Chain A
Amino acid sequence: MPEQLLIQLKDVVKKFNKNLVLSGVNLTINNKDIYGIIGTSGSGKTTILNLIIGFLKTNGGSITYDSKNISVIQDKIHQTFGFASQGGSYYNKLSVEENIAFFGKMYNLSSSEIKEKTNEILGLVELNDARNKLASELSTGMQRRLDIACALIHSPRVLILDEPTEDLDPILRKEVLALIRRINAQKDTTIIITSHLLGEIELVCNKIAILNNGRIISDGSPDQLKEGYSSNYEISLQTKNEDYAKITKYLNKHGYKKIFDKKHRIIIYTEKPEITMKSMLSFLKAKKEKIIELSLNKPSLEEVFEAVTKQH
């Protein structure tokens, strides 16, 4: 099935006073994509989202939705886009149901539609049991899901999530990521997501754009990015004694320079994974080190991001 172009940013420029935040940003988002925008804090991720939704105006370039400039179809954009902001956008003193009902009304839904969709959305975000609780009484993860529910009440065609897993613990992150996948799968919603947590972006997105210094320096699927920017493979090793200094010393001696100690494991980047693993295993056998976990992967997005940003 051919990909259908939905949103396109062409040479978008955004300035805040004299501060140039975005310079010539180009993006192409297709229908039903889960599109990730990654970048360091302050790189302009949220600004891009605000431009797409029309909350901010561009200083140059164009943004189109369904081939129409968003500035002339603002009502349509508001009606067809859902947005879950970084800090959450709901009323703490309203219950889950009241929040959804309020925003449903603001999105022009009738009371019966609101009722119907509230049940559906609460089921989707798994907040059925908390529907009468005040938003302020919810856990952080539930609040994040409520925010997404508020953004989904009007069945948006495009859902924008600004750092949805920020400040969440690993379990809650997994919950939210699973929700994102569910929404995309069940409702065919195009999702645009920003994050600086590259690992999770990699898990959910089918397209990723890397933003650095106000420019998109690379975009594509995670695999395309990995292949395009790194010839290395990633060996992850965890041993029982965790004497990684000795292992690192040995590997350095044999010319492996890209070794990173990650607390309970080490990561070794190599262009010849078979030779490296063979050498390392013989060393471990000689030293009688017990292996807990050993894996060989394509390079992570972190490495790609590091490589790409260094280039630019």
Chain B
Amino acid sequence: MGIFDKYSELLGKKEVKKKVVEKPEIQEKPQKIQISQTTPKKEVIGKQEQKIKSSLPRILFLSKLIMMIKKDIKILIRSKTSALIVLLGPLVIILLVGLAFNSSSLYNIRIATYSESYSELTDSITKSLENQEYSVIKAKSLESCKDGVKFGDFHLCAIFPKDLKIGDKDNIIEVYVDQSRINLASLITNTISEKVSAKSTELGISLTTDMLSVLDKTKKSIEEKIIIINKLISDNSDSTLKIQGSEDNLNKIDLTGNISEINFTDIEDQVNAIRNKYNVSLVMSNNLKNSIEDVKLGVDTLKLKLDEASKSRASTIQDLESIRKLLTISLADLNSLRTALNTISAEVGSIKVTDAGLIVEPIKTSVQPITKDKSHLSFLFPTMIVLVIMFISVLLSSTIVVREKLSAAYFRNFITPTSDLLYMIGTYLTNIILVMLQLLILFLVSLYFFKNQLLSMAPNLALAILIIASVFIFIGMIIGYLFRTEETSTLASISISSILLVFSNTILPIESLPGAFREIVKYNPFVVSEGMLKKILLFNTDITTLLNSIYILMSFIIILFIISYIARELTKRSI
């Protein structure tokens, strides 16, 4: 006899029998009197009895719940089909999904290309697309390429410009995808864009490398030429100085003298005076006069020559001045040229980034996963878990409730002294045990794919799943109570689960929904649950940081519990 039985028996004898059998003879024989008669320590027994009494409702409550759960599970197991679905369903789901999505690759993607004339560049791009994931097919015409996408023969059609080559302005590759395949379209487009972009970058790097090489050579050449210019400037300056010196020297030459001041008339007068005074012979006087005349002639000649020399000097000075000016201008130009070349050289030298890759792609986008896992399964796992919980919980609970409701025994449940609330709790517990059992199987199988990752987050995960499953179980229970046949209940369960699934991030991002509607959808229990599990499974977030989601789901549980209680009470009318 178990402890429940022991206490229940006591209850049965003291309390229940008072209720069960209204016969006065039984009421008149309470156990208490027997105990007091046979036991010497009355007070001790009284205390023990009080303890037992206070724990009796709880024990009875528990033993009833256990009985309800056992009953529900027995009924479920004895229906072989249900048992198979319940126990093997999740196993099959996880195995199939695990095998199908345990990779991040796309397989057998067919890309059609078309160009009026394929260039070497076009071929190199198409070749870069071709690998184990993509097969590239050259379409015969533009129409066949586009139509191929429409009819599903190709996943994508890429139209290349005629004779694509670097330098052409209209190097635009047109890509046609089937937008109706929402997720695949964006995935393929992104992949193709990435591949073309990589090729484009590769070409850009090559061009930039050439350009940088030319720039480097130019810089070196400029630097060499600047040295020459410096020498020229220096020479120019020297020349200018020398010219200036020559000018000064020329200016310093006195070509005037006092020749013009020589008064030959006075000389002649003096000669005449001397001849007269000294009686110089005429011959001598004439000789003298002739000499004076010669001197005069020589002076005149000299004077002329000096005049000419003066003119030549002036002209030379003028020329030298012109040359100096030209040299000054030339020097200024040389200085200007040197400054310009220095600036160019400095500017070329100031180019810090000399790596072609960095110039072509100065900022790179590197999308890093925030988790270590890279397979689709890892990303899909939280969604898949919520999906499994939702469908199993809603379907299982609605089926159990509707079967109970339709069973002949349902009526008796309302006429026993067991409260409706307890029956509801029993149904809920049966469902939660079965759902948790299925999820346990699912997780055990998942360990094959996720190794030990799941174990570390098991406590958080278990609590989250308990809350999530509770929400969906109550939804299923409401459906079970509201619908009259198993078929309509199953249909309603699938429909409601599908609605919750459609308005979640699984098919379309909820961000694409209109504002007010999006605000409502944010509170879709599927969305809240998926968000919570993603944080736990992908980021190993502690559950205490997910209190908002927990509060939302707990609110759902309370509201749905109340609704399911009301729905259960309403079923009385249809019995």
Contact = CB atoms under 8 A, between A and B. Distances in A.
Interface of B is mostly: helix
Given A91-B75, A103-B412, A108-B417, A80 B5 contact: no
A88 B410 CA distance: 10
Given A78-B415, A78-B416, A83-B412, A106 B64 contact: yes
B20 A109 contact: yes
Interface string B224-259: 000000000000000000000000000000000000
A311 B382 CA distance: 74
B417 A75 contact: yes
Interface in B405-453: 407-418
Nearest to B65: A105
B9, B10, B409, B411, most chain A CB atoms within 10 A: B409
Contact of B5 (A54, A81, A107, A111): A111
A150 B410 CA distance: 13
Given A106-B64, A107-B417, A108-B60, A93 B23 contact: no
B452 to A, nearest CB: 41
Given A66-B22, A75-B417, A87-B408, A109 B74 contact: no
B519 to A, nearest CB: 40
Contacts of B409: 89-91, 99
A101 B1 CA distance: 15
A112 interface: yes
A113 B16 CA distance: 11
B209 interface: no
Interface string A278-305: 0000000000000000000000000000
A55 B407 contact: no
Contact of B20 (A55, A80, A92, A93): A80
B19 A75 contact: yes
B79 interface: yes
Contacts of A226: none
B66 to A, nearest CB: 9
B75 A85 contact: no
A38 to B, nearest CB: 22
Given A79-B19, A103-B416, A157-B21, A113 B71 contact: no
B413 to A, nearest CB: 7
Contacts of A75: 19, 417
Contacts of B2: 111
B423 to A, nearest CB: 9
17 contacts: A55-B572, A75-B417, A76-B22, A87-B408, A91-B75, A105-B64, A106-B413, A106-B416, A108-B16, A108-B20, A108-B417, A108-B418, A110-B11, A111-B1, A150-B412, A155-B20, A157-B22
B12 A91 contact: no
B8 interface: yes
Contacts of B12: 108-110, 113
Given A92-B408, A102-B71, A110-B9, A83 B415 contact: yes
A105 B417 CA distance: 10
A109 B16 contact: yes
A81 B20 contact: no
Residue among B67, B74, B418 facing the most chain A CB atoms (10 A cut-off):
B67
Given A66-B22, A93-B75, A94-B71, A113 B412 contact: no
Interface string A84-128: 010111111110001101110111111111000000000000000
A107 B15 CA distance: 12
A108 B11 contact: yes
A155 B12 CA distance: 12
Q: Which of A85, A102, A155 has the most CB of B within 10 A?
A: A102
Contact of B23 (A76, A87, A103, A157): A157
B63 interface: yes
B415 A81 contact: yes
B78 interface: yes
B67 A105 contact: yes
A91 B71 contact: yes
A113 B78 contact: no
A197 to B, nearest CB: 21
B565 interface: no
B4 interface: yes
Contact of A134 (B16, B78, B407, B572): B78
Contacts of B412: 83, 85, 89-90, 103, 106, 150-151
Contacts of B19: 75-76, 79-80, 108
A91 B11 CA distance: 27
A110 B64 CA distance: 10
Nearest to A90: B409
Interface residues of B, number: 39
Contacts of A94: 71, 74-75
Contacts of A110: 5, 7-12, 16
A110 B56 CA distance: 11
Nearest to A154: B20
A53 interface: yes
B160 to A, nearest CB: 68
A79 B9 contact: no
A91 B412 CA distance: 10
B78 A93 contact: yes
Interface string B53-72: 00000001001100100010
A145 to B, nearest CB: 14
Interface string B321-352: 00000000000000000000000000000000
Contacts of B1: 111-112
Contact of A78 (B64, B67, B407, B417): B417
Nearest to A95: B74
Contacts of A78: 415-417
B403 to A, nearest CB: 9
Contacts of B414: 55
Interface in A267-282: none
Which among B9, B12, B78, B412 has the highest number of chain A CB atoms within 10 Å? Answer: B412
Interface in B490-522: none
Nearest to B419: A75
Interface string B1-39: 110110111111000100111110000000000000000
A81 B410 CA distance: 17
A106 B61 CA distance: 10
A75 to B, nearest CB: 5
A66 B20 CA distance: 15
A148 to B, nearest CB: 12
Given A90-B408, A91-B407, A107 B20 contact: yes
A112 B9 contact: yes
Contacts of A106: 64, 67, 412-413, 416-418
B416 A80 contact: no
A88 B409 CA distance: 7
Contacts of B23: 157
Contact of B22 (A80, A83, A85, A90): A80
Greatest chain B CB density within 10 A among A83, A85, A91 is at: A91
A82 to B, nearest CB: 9
B408 A105 contact: no
Interface in A41-61: 53-55
B74 A93 contact: yes
B361 to A, nearest CB: 69
Interface in A13-40: none
Contacts of A85: 408, 411-412
